[in-house]
Amino acid sequence: MLDAPWFRMVLGNHEQMALMALLSGVEFNWQRNGGDWFYRLKGEARSRAEALIHRCDALPLIIEVANLPQKIVVAHADYPAGHYLYDQPVDGEEVVWSRKRITRALEGRGSRIAGADLFIFGHTPLKRPFKFLNQLYLDTGAVFGGRLSLLRIKSG
């Protein structure tokens, strides 16, 4: 989907693990967390997969969906600040890995993130999409046999 003109993506933990495995030559963490498919590839298929993985290094951590009446922000796991500001420096590890905000939200004790109308996150598998305040968590565990959840965002 990296080449689809209609598709945008943020860097997630699996892309980060894949990049680290290719750059360091240490595959254990990625291999046991879904990357085993890569090590079964041979020849041209492996070369193509490796090239695509390297392209993930240019993926943004956070995107703001443009041309909408409301401000929608997408990040893989979390937005680790109480107020969103475009291009504000944030901890990339928190954006890709953190489960702090969703843990609090599931306990009913989280808080809004100021600066945008809606934040969309994945990373933490749930039985169904979960909306809490201005945060929407969409990972419904398709990788574990759950449903695949998608959200189509369109202007107007």
Sheet-wide strand order for 118-121: 62-65, 72-75, 118-121, 135-137, 130-132
- Region 117-129: what's the mean pLDDT? 96
* Residue 155 lies inside a defined structural domain of this protein: no
* Residue 38 lies inside a defined structural domain of this protein: yes
Domain count of the fold of the chain:
2
- Whole-model pTM? 0.92
Whether residues 66 and 139 share a domain: the answer is yes
- 63-83 tens-digit pLDDT: 999 888 899 999 999 999 999
Q: How confident is the model at residue 42 (pLDDT cuts 50, 70, 90)?
A: very high
* Residue 106 lies inside a defined structural domain of this protein: yes
Is 14 noted as a catalytic residue in this protein? yes
Its domain, for residue 132, covers: 62-144
For residues 100 and 93, the answer to whether their CB atoms sit within 8 Å is no
Whether residues 66 and 121 share a domain: the answer is yes
pLDDT for the residue 156: 58
Whether residues 30 and 72 share a domain: the answer is no
